[in-house]
């Protein structure tokens, strides 16, 4: 069984751990370089991507994570995690000292943070994910506004609070998977199962 780690610096990592537990899959928190070395795959949780960015650099985890991504480690990012997996951020946060938010990258896409509005505009939407119908929760969710040729679009939504058509909310590039929404908060395990299959080479 692959060892799956969940980056546990900030955000809803506990909900991801619980989702794997419901599937009988072992998952462990990753907070240090040593923790990272022990896992075969990694989940980047929802939360605040600019904080995950800053903490991962402060803890010396950003470069090792980038190296593992380059080596082909399977990674799943939900919401803030999707932003961390994007090669480009359209509207990065700028810190008071002028530092621009960075991502780990890996997926050839440009994401727009908070693309569906602010916290009050959070919404649920039914969508198709690889043959499953899911009730997806969007909380200050990002959108992939541009994807490269190697990126497979898995899910789109036809409408958010701002309307719009076919907005990209789930993508895959090789062993990297990203969703704008949070399957870990709804109790639906289809995406976690998909990621387990992906880490086993079955998806
Ligand atoms: N808007 C947040 C960010 O930029 C993501 C929100 C979330 O993960 N629910 O990181």
Q: If DSSP states are collapsed to H, E and C, what string results for 68-120?
A: HHHCCCCEEEECHHHHHHEEEECCCCECCCCCECCCCCCEEEEEECCCCCCHH
Distance 1 CA to ligand 1 centre (A): 31
Residue 162 pLDDT greater than 90, yes or no: no
Residue 164 pLDDT greater than 70, yes or no: no
Domain CATH code at residue 88: 3.40.50.880
With beta carbons less than 8 A apart as the criterion, state whether 175 and 75 touch.
yes
pTM recorded for the entire structure: 0.95
Q: By mean pLDDT, which of 17-21, 34-38, 76-80, 128-132 is the weakest?
A: 128-132
- pLDDT digits 0-9 by tens, 75-98: 999 999 999 999 999 999 999 999
Number of domains in the chain: 1
Ligand 1 atom closest to the Cα of residue 48 is 10
Pocket test for ligand 1, best of 6, 82, 83 (most atoms within 8 A of CB): 83
Which tokens belong to 124? 């649920």
- Where in the sequence is the domain holding 79, given as residue range(s)? 4-200
Give yes or no: 67 in active site.
no
With cut-offs at 50, 70 and 90, classify the pLDDT of residue 186.
confident
User: Catalytic residue among 15, 16, 125, 184, which?
Assistant: 184
pLDDT, residue 91, reads 97
Give yes or no: 182 in active site.
yes
pLDDT, residue 122, reads 82
- pLDDT digits 0-9 by tens, 47-58: 999 999 999 999
Q: Which of 10, 38, 46, 22 is nearest to 187 (CA)?
A: 22
Q: List residues near ligand 1 (CB under 6 A).
A: 46-49, 79-80, 83, 113-114, 139-140
Share of the chain above pLDDT 90, in %: 79
Ligand 1 atom closest to the Cα of residue 113 is 4
160 is in an annotated binding site: no
């Amino acid at each position: 069984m692959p060892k799956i780690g969940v980056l546990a610096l900030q955000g809803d990592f506990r909900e991801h751990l619980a989702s794997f537990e419901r599937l009988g899959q072992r998952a462990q928190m990753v907070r240090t370089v040593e923790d990272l070395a022990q896992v075969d795959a990694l989940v980047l949780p929802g939360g605040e991507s600019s904080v995950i960015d800053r903490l991962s650099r402060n803890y010396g985890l950003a470069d090792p994570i980038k190296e593992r991504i380059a080596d082909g480690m399977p990674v799943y990012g939900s919401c803030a995690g999707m932003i961390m997996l994007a090669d480009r951020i359209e509207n990065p946060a700028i810190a008071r000292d002028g530092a621009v938010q960075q991502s780990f990258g890996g997926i050839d896409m440009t994401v727009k943070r908070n693309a569906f509005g602010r916290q009050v505009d959070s919404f649920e939407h039914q969508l198709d994910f690889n043959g499953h119908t899911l009730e997806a929760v969007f909380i200050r969710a990002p959108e992939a506004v541009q994807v490269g040729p190697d990126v497979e679009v898995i899910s789109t939504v036809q409408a958010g609070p701002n309307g719009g058509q076919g907005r990209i909310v789930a993508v895959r590039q090789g062993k990297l998977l990203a969703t704008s929404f949070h399957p870990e908060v709804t109790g639906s395990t289809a995406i976690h199962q998909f990621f387990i299959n992906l880490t086993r080479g079955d998806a």
